[in-house]
């Protein structure tokens, strides 16, 4: 059983990550922390509580940072709508927020558990994670690993060079990727394979019930925004890919790389520059022999889409039965 803290900015695809984390018996969802990203932190927090209520689950939810460390705030309202989760009916929260700030919740939870037992799963901008490292660096050595949705080794979705979660707080992403812990980057190159195809939507419809309706309303809304803006055939279920990998590591293939986050480029800020080990270990700085490159990051490459879909349908069936 993998213990995780899901740091998120619900967010349509964040809601499917919560479905997987709450519905799969191999995941122990210790808590949800929220951050500003797809919308402001008031809305992403309200949405996190609404999603838990819609699923009939109760887990600690702790509100986090209202904005990035340094850069101006950028929201993805054009994709997620004015509430940050337009489309489905959002029920009023059935439980109260955890009283702690997300950063304190992360630190307290990591320090209260055995070393190397908790995985951090950030699927929004990494502001809370960076702040937690700075407030208590002990968590770097104590966390089992970080499986982060963000970045891309080809092209971005908020600028040609950058993916939204990294772009929205590039300095926080720089802190996270440079820290001395095990980071897996689940970028757009992988998550744009994780599409809510008609077949998957029909399987969700066949489960029936209010949660299936909630999920279908999510994809119906996103299809009106995502497809138009980004020319992607079906809604991309970005964030759930991280949780799926916690459940079944064979859900996608990986390669080792050395990842550097651009924080100064005028046109490339937020770009995750990936130097793959399999690319013969090109150096970041034109092969200066003095630069030591250790390929310590892991990059998600090829998704097993049928396996991914099975996990989503299974989680939906379990939550629907237990509601
Ligand atoms: N166009 C666009 C699509 C998704 C997102 C959000 N950011 C990440 C994908 O870039 C996911 O976590 C998702 O919640 C932002 C912008
Ligand atoms: Ca997200």
pLDDT digits (tens, 9 = 90+) for 105-148: 999 999 999 999 999 999 999 999 999 999 999 999 999 999 99
How sure is the predictor about 280, in pLDDT bands with cuts at 50, 70 and 90? low
Q: Which residues surround ligand 2, an ion (CB under 5 A)?
A: 9, 11, 14, 123-124, 239
Question: Tokens in use for 275?
Answer: 């130097």
Distance 37 CA to ligand 1 centre (A): 9
Taking CB atoms within 8 Å and a gap of at least 24, the contacts of 151-155 are 151/185, 151/187, 151/188, 151/259, 151/261, 151/272, 151/274, 152/187, 152/188, 152/189, 152/272, 153/187, 153/189, 153/257, 153/272, 153/274, 153/276, 153/299, 154/188, 154/189, 155/188
Q: DSSP alpha helices (H): ranges in the chain?
A: 12-23, 41-55, 77-80, 102-112, 127-135, 138-142, 164-168, 170-178, 188-191, 198-207, 210-230, 240-247, 305-322
Check residue 147 and give left, alpha or beta (phi > 0: left; psi -120 to 50: alpha): beta
**How high is the mean pLDDT of the chain?**
95
The β-bridge relationship of strands 61-62 and 118-122 is unpaired
Amino acid 230: pLDDT: 74
Quote the CA–CA distance of 86 and 39 in Å, as a whole number.
Answer: 11
Given a cut of 60, is residue 260 above it in pLDDT?
Answer: yes
Among the residue ranges 104-113, 201-210, 220-229, 279-288, the one predicted with the least confidence is 279-288
Distance 39 CA to ligand 2 centre (A): 10
Q: Is 192 a catalytic residue?
A: no
Amino acid 12: pLDDT: 97
Q: What is the largest CA-CA distance in the chain?
A: 61
Percent of the chain with pLDDT over 70: 96
How sure is the predictor about 291, in pLDDT bands with cuts at 50, 70 and 90? low
Given a cut of 60, is residue 290 above it in pLDDT?
Answer: no
- Cα 143 off chain centre by: 17
Instruction: Assess whether the C-beta atom of 86 lies below 6 angstroms from ligand 1.
Output: no
Given a cut of 80, is residue 288 above it in pLDDT?
Answer: no
Question: Tokens in use for 17?
Answer: 């990550």
Taking residues 168-191, report their average pLDDT. Answer: 98
pLDDT digits (tens, 9 = 90+) for 216-241: 999 999 998 877 777 888 999 999 99
**Rg of the Cα trace of the chain?**
18
Q: Is 149 within 8 Å of 242 (Cβ atoms)?
A: yes
How sure is the predictor about 281, in pLDDT bands with cuts at 50, 70 and 90? low
Indicate the length of the chain as a whole number. 323
pLDDT digits (tens, 9 = 90+) for 8-43: 999 999 999 999 999 999 999 999 999 999 999 999
Q: Check 80, 101, 226, 238 and give the catalytic one.
A: 238
**DSSP label at residue 161:** S
How sure is the predictor about 289, in pLDDT bands with cuts at 50, 70 and 90? low
Quote the CA–CA distance of 284 and 273 in Å, as a whole number.
Answer: 9
Quote the CA–CA distance of 304 and 307 in Å, as a whole number.
Answer: 5
Distance 56 CA to ligand 2 centre (A): 21
Instruction: Assess whether the C-beta atom of 47 lies below 6 angstroms from ligand 1.
Output: no
Instruction: Assess whether the C-beta atom of 7 lies below 6 angstroms from ligand 1.
Output: no
- Which ligand has the nearest atom to the CA of 241? 1
Quote the CA–CA distance of 175 and 271 in Å, as a whole number.
Answer: 14
Question: Tokens in use for 8?
Answer: 């998120």
Given a cut of 70, is residue 248 above it in pLDDT?
Answer: yes
Q: List Cα–Cα distances, 130 to 64, 70, 100, 176, 312, in angstroms.
A: 12, 12, 17, 6, 30
Distance 292 CA to ligand 2 centre (A): 33
Instruction: Assess whether the C-beta atom of 79 lies below 6 angstroms from ligand 1.
Output: yes
Question: Tokens in use for 10?
Answer: 């619900």
Whether ipTM tops 0.90, in short, is: yes
Taking residues 165-188, report their average pLDDT. Answer: 98
Ligand 1 atom having least distance to the Cα of 12: 14
pLDDT digits (tens, 9 = 90+) for 57-108: 999 999 999 999 999 999 999 999 999 999 999 999 999 999 999 999 999 9
């Amino acid at each position: 059983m993998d213990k995780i803290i899901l740091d998120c900015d619900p967010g349509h695809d964040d809601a499917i990550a919560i479905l997987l984390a709450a519905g799969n018996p191999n995941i122990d969802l210790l808590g949800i922390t929220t951050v500003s990203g797809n919308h402001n932190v008031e809305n992403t927090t309200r949405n996190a509580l609404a999603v838990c209520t819609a699923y009939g689950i109760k887990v600690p939810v702790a509100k986090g940072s209202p904005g990035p460390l340094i850069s101006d705030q950028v929201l993805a309202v054009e994709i997620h709508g004015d509430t940050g989760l337009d489309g489905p009916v959002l029920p009023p929260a059935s439980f109260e927020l955890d009283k702690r700030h997300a950063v304190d919740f992360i630190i307290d939870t990591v320090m209260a558990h055995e070393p190397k037992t908790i995985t951090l799963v950030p699927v929004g901008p990494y502001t809370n994670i960076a702040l937690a490292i700075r407030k208590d660096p002990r968590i770097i050595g104590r966390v089992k690993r970080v499986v982060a949705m963000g970045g891309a080794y080809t092209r971005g979705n908020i600028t040609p060079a950058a993916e939204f979660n990294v772009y929205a707080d590039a300095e926080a992403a720089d802190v996270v990727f440079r820290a001395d812990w095990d980071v897996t980057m689940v970028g757009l190159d992988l998550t744009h394979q994780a599409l809510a195809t008609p077949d998957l939507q029909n399987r969700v419809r066949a489960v029936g019930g209010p949660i299936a309706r909630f999920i279908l309303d999510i994809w119906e809304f996103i299809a009106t925004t995502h497809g138009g803006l980004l020319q992607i055939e079906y809604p991309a279920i970005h964030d759930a890919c991280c949780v799926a990998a916690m459940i079944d590591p064979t859900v996608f293939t990986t390669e080792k790389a050395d990842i550097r986050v651009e924080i100064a480029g005028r046109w490339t800020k937020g770009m995750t520059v990936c130097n793959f080990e399999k690319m013969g270990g090109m150096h970041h700085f034109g092969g200066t022999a003095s630069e030591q490159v250790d390929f310590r990051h892991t990059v998600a490459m090829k998704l097993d889409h049928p396996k991914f879909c099975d996990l989503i349908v299974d989680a939906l069936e379990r939550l629907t039965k237990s509601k």
